[in-house]
Amino acid sequence: MDFGLSELNSEMRNEISEALDILQQEHFTIEEELNKCIKENDEIHAQQEEVMREIAAVKRRQLELQNDTVSSASYLSELRKEEKILREFNTNLLNDISELEETLNNLREKDDEDLQNGIKKLIAAVDGANELYEFYDINKCKTGCENLDKEIEQQTDELNIDITSTINKALIVQKEQLQKTTAEKLTEIEKRKKLNALPPPLLMKIIM
């Protein structure tokens, strides 16, 4: 009886020991799972914090975009005002060009009139010389008239050259100035149009 009881106790102790080992192993497994869950939970919290930061960044960006939209609308309004001013300036510039062309035409007419008056004076001088021809020695008068004709021809050529040169210089200078001014204003208008065509956020980035 004692031997059987001892053997039974030994078997029970073995079973209990095995059960304890199993329980301990399960405890370790559960502890590992718990640690894994804690780690995953920490990662989830970290992800949540990152998401919250991204949401806050998105909200800040939305606010910035709203401010950019308001600023862009205001700037666009200013650009339209400037465009209107430039259009008016361009119209005034065209009017100035027309007035300048009219002035140049008047100058040409005046120069032509002065030239005609000069020619008339020279003709009168020739007529006077011809009248003197009758009262003086024929040879001397002939020589004098020939010299006078040469002088008249020379003075006429010089007068024509001076008038033509003056007119051409004035026209060249005025034309260059007008071309330069017109090109600058057209370039400015084209630049403003390109800026107006840009999306508001991109436009603000260029401005900033």
Question: pLDDT confidence of 193, banded at 50, 70, 90?
Answer: low
CA 181 to CA 90: how far, in whole Å? 10
Residue 58 has pLDDT above 50, yes or no: yes
CA 83 to CA 192: how far, in whole Å? 7
Q: What is the mean pLDDT of residues 68-73?
A: 73
Give the count of domains, the chain.
1
> In a 10 Å sphere around its CB, with 0-12 CB exposed, 13-18 middle and 19+ buried, how is residue 94 labelled?
exposed
pLDDT at 3: 47
DSSP tag of 198: S
Question: pLDDT confidence of 39, banded at 50, 70, 90?
Answer: confident
CA 5 to CA 11: how far, in whole Å? 10
Percent of the chain at pLDDT > 90 equals 0
Q: Quote the domain boundaries for residue 134.
A: 2-207
Residue 170 has pLDDT above 60, yes or no: yes
Please check whether residue 204 is in contact with residue 71, taking contact to mean a CB–CB distance below 8 angstroms: yes
Residue 66 has pLDDT above 70, yes or no: yes
Of all helices (H) and strands (E), which one includes residue 64? helix 2-133
CA 6 to CA 2: how far, in whole Å? 6
Question: pLDDT confidence of 127, banded at 50, 70, 90?
Answer: low
Question: pLDDT confidence of 144, banded at 50, 70, 90?
Answer: low
More confident residue, 143 or 81: 81
Its pTM stands at 0.32
More confident residue, 142 or 101: 101
Helix/strand/coil (H/E/C) assignment for every residue in 120-148 = HHHHHHHHHHHHHHCCCCHHHHHHHHHHH
Q: What is the mean pLDDT of residues 18-24?
A: 82
Q: What is the mean pLDDT of residues 98-118?
A: 67
Residue 51 carries which side chain, given as an amino acid letter? V
Residue 141 has pLDDT above 70, yes or no: no
pLDDT at 24: 85
Residue 45 has pLDDT above 50, yes or no: yes
